Amino acid sequence: MSSHHPSKSKILLYWKYWNIIERKIKEEIDWLRSSIDVFQKEEKNAPLGCRECFLRRIAILIVSGEVKATEITRASPLKSFWIPKKVSGKKIYRGSNWHRETTEKIEKHFLSLGYEVAREPNLHHGRADLGVFKRDESDLYIEVGTTSFFKLWMNLEIMKNFTYLIVPNDDKLIEFRKD
**What would the pLDDT profile of 10-56 be if each residue is shown by its tens digit?**
555 566 778 888 999 999 999 999 998 876 655 556 566 677 889 99
Task: For residue 2, tell me if it sits in a domain.
Answer: no
Q: How many CB atoms lie within 10 A of CB 140?
A: 20
Task: For residue 62, tell me if it sits in a domain.
Answer: yes
Q: Is the pLDDT of residue 154 over 70?
A: yes
Task: For residue 32, tell me if it sits in a domain.
Answer: yes
Task: For residue 74, tell me if it sits in a domain.
Answer: yes
pLDDT at 95: 52
Task: For residue 63, tell me if it sits in a domain.
Answer: yes
Is there a contact between 46 and 138 (Cβ–Cβ < 8 Å)?
Answer: no
Most confident residue range from 12-16, 50-54, 107-111, 168-172: 107-111
Q: Is the pLDDT of residue 128 over 70?
A: yes
pLDDT at 39: 67
Q: pLDDT-derived band of residue 170, with 50, 70 and 90 as boundaries?
A: confident
Sign for the CA dihedral angle at 146, 136, 117, 101 comes to positive
Q: Phi and psi dihedrals of 36, rounded to 5?
A: -115, 130
The H-or-E segment that residue 26 falls in is helix 18-35
pLDDT at 97: 86
Q: What is the mean pLDDT of the chain?
A: 82
Task: For residue 84, tell me if it sits in a domain.
Answer: yes
Let me know the angle formed at the C-alpha of 176 by 68 and 123, rounded to the nearest 5 degrees. Answer: 135
Q: pLDDT-derived band of residue 140, with 50, 70 and 90 as boundaries?
A: very high
Task: For residue 52, tell me if it sits in a domain.
Answer: yes
User: DSSP readout, 87-144?
Assistant: --SSPP--S-HHHHHHHHHHHHHHHHTT-EEEES-B-SSSB-SEEEE-TTS-EEEEEE
pLDDT at 40: 61
Tally of domains within the chain: 1
Q: Cα–Cα distance between 39 and 42 in angstroms, integer?
A: 9
pLDDT at 136: 93
Q: Cα–Cα distance between 88 and 154 in angstroms, integer?
A: 34
Q: Cα–Cα distance between 104 and 142 in angstroms, integer?
A: 12
pLDDT at 156: 97
Q: Span 151-161, mean pLDDT?
A: 95
Q: Is the pLDDT of residue 171 over 90?
A: no
Task: For residue 1, tell me if it sits in a domain.
Answer: no
**What would the pLDDT profile of 45-83 be if each residue is shown by its tens digit?**
656 667 788 999 999 999 999 999 999 887 655 555 655
Give the residue numbers spanning the domain of 112.
Answer: 8-178
